[in-house]
Structures are given as C-alpha cells and as structure tokens.
Amino acid sequence: MTDYYEVLGVDRSASEDDIKKAYRHMSRKYHPDIAGPKFEEKFKEVNSAYEVLSDPEKRRMYDAGVDPNDPRGGSYGTNFGGMGDMGDIFSQFFGGFGAGAQGPIPRTQPGRDSLAAAAIDLKTAVFGGTTNVSVDTFGICQHCGGSGSEDGSQPVECPTCHGQGMVQKVVRTMLGQMMTSAPCETCEGHGTIIEHPCTVCHGHGRVRTHRDVGVSVPAGIDNNARLRLAHQGEVGECGGPAGDLYVDIHVKPDSDYTRDGDNLHCWIRIPMSWAVLGHNIDIETFDGQQTLEIPAGCQPEQTVTLKGLGVTKLRDGQSRGDLIAHVSVDIPTKLSEREHDLIEEYAELHDAKATSVSQSSKPTAPAKKGFFSKLKDAFN
C-alpha cells in the first residue's frame, strides 16, 4: 500500500492545515506544466494522497490499513485495531464506503495554481513598477457563465445512482462474490446530471483561455524572486474558486550598472590628468544626470560613492543603497616629444627618491614609486 504521508512529506499526526500546505507545495513542484511531462505520474500520486488524507473518513480508513483509492480494497494486514476499524473494512465492500460515507462529488471544484515568468529591467527593480505576463489556463466559460448548462437550468438527480454518486457492483474474489461500491459512470460520481450541457464547455463551466495579467513589482525585488497573485490562477470546475498565480521575476542585465545587494556599481575611465588634479564629471544614473567628484590624487580602482542612489531596500520600501563608481585611469600609450619631456621633468622632481618597487605576496599600500615615474617606466 502506498504511503501517502511519505508522498506528501508529512507526519501521521499532521493537521489538516499541514496536509493542505504540503499538497500545495508538492502539486506546484510536480505539476506537468512546471516540472515537465515526465512528472505526470508523480503529480497523480500527489493528488491521490491528498484526496485520501484531506478527507477525514478516507484518512481514518487508510490509517486502519485500507486504501480507499485501491479498487481491490487495499492491504488490510492482520491487526484491525478494534471493531470500529473492522467496520470500516466491511463498509468498503458492503456499500458504506462511497455513497453513504463520502457522498457525491461536488461539481464545483477549486482550480489549481498556475506559474508564469516575467522579465524586467534593472530600473524597474530599483524603483518598482508594473509588468504584464501572458497566462494560458482555464477561465470561466462566458457562454454559460460557469454553470455548465446551455439553458441555465440546474442539474437534476442522476437516474442511475439516485443522487448517491456511487453504485454497487458485484466482484469476484478468492473469498467468493462480494459487493463493492464504485463511482457512477452516468454522472461521474456527482450524483446529478446536466440535462443540456453547454455547447462550448461541455458541462465543465470553464474553457482554456489566454489572458494578460498585470503584475505589480515591488521596489527592490531580487532576481529570481517569486510573486504570488491570489485567485489569478486556474478557474475551477463549474465556477469553482480560482487558484493562485505565481510569477517568477527575472531581472535583465543592464549595460551601465551591476547590482550587488542594495548597491549599484559602475566602472568609469578618466584621463590621468583628472586623476592627478581632480575633476567633476557628469554621469547618467537612474535618478537622472548626477555630478561625480573625482578627488585629486585618485588612484586606479579607487571608488567614489554617491549615497542613496542605489536600489530601494525591499524590507522598508523607502531607504536606498548607494551607487559606487570604480575609477579606471586611462594611461596614454603614445606621447609627443613635448609630453614626454614634461613627464621626464615631473619624474625628476617628484620621484627622484624612488629607486625600486616593493614586493609582497599580498596586496599592500601603493609602492613608493610615483604615478608619473611608473608611467615613464611604461614608455621606456
């Protein structure tokens, strides 16, 4: 007998809420539209487990050693745990299981959850915004309004099972002929039939639809985050409540900025004279053009920070990280004779005492040799 508790990953003492949460998690994980067709059998197994464990009567029978989903009557074992459990076993064969204990299957069923993906730019992740996702799922049938009936009439009692949803059948076993219950084939276990089914949805109250759903993206959202849109998923049978829509958010790479947590990083190249003398430059940010002050004596790979121009912090939705500019100094590869003489003159004045370069296995402070001295060495 299949261990339904193991299928859903819950203990035998799990509450109804625990079972429901586990089912939602497992059904999303193994849904064929999400995990792929190869998990279709696993998805069916998860649904079978939930069908039994979510029904108090079926769960009691299962705990007694009878699998309600097993047409052969399950595996009973030898310890029946008292007359109450024994009665459950006999009730399965003699009509108690199904029509009397379970009742007919409601026509109105809740819809399943759906999954979609949306790609946004980095600016939307910084400030928040809206995007749209396309969803192919079940929607309510507009022709019958979800009733499943062509003329709007209510379902009538099934003439075969007389509203029970189950019929008794005689089966042959090694113990002889025995009576068992099975879903009514006429009404599919509902106990009622729709005399004039809708010509569009054929009595199901829903049809496959394609629709665009607006998604509100919170400021500061991370790449690969998942948003939940309540009741935007698949509409249930005969107007049943819709499941939830889950949207996976992917943030597209930006050509100017890289995100690290709540901070934005960019890399800029400046002439060596700006690094030595200092300079104010204008850069484009998500907040418009901003002035970046390059300090005099700026070193290669030094950073300059603009406070509060980074990503909005998701936890409070108001404060923001920083924008950090990494400075790269552009050293010219060709010099005129005049420029070369000026570098020579500066090196003699500024780097006269520099005779060697310090060496270490780890990063250290800048070498004693000056910037222009190293520039001179590069050309020599």
- The reply, when asked if residue 238 is annotated as ligand binding, is no
Distance in angstroms (rounded) separating the CA atoms of residues 36 and 361: 52
- The reply, when asked if residue 298 is annotated as ligand binding, is no
Alpha helices (H) along the chain: 4-8, 16-30, 32-35, 40-53, 56-63, 83-93, 122-127, 272-277, 337-350, 371-379
Q: How many CA atoms lie within 13 A of 314 on its CB side?
A: 11
DSSP 310: S
- The reply, when asked if residue 141 is annotated as ligand binding, is yes
DSSP labels, 125-180: HHH-EEEEEEEEEEEE-TTTTTS-BSS-PPPEE-TTTTTSSEEEEEEEETTEEEEE
Distance in angstroms (rounded) separating the CA atoms of residues 91 and 164: 15
Instruction: Note whether 301 and 326 are within 8 A (CB).
Output: yes
Distance in angstroms (rounded) separating the CA atoms of residues 204 and 314: 42
> Any idea which residue has 């009665």 for tokens?
87
Distance in angstroms (rounded) separating the CA atoms of residues 141 and 199: 10
Instruction: Note whether 247 and 117 are within 8 A (CB).
Output: yes
- The reply, when asked if residue 158 is annotated as ligand binding, is yes
Annotation: binding site for Zn(2+): 141, 144, 158, 161, 184, 187, 198, 201
Annotation: binding site: 141, 144, 158, 161, 184, 187, 198, 201
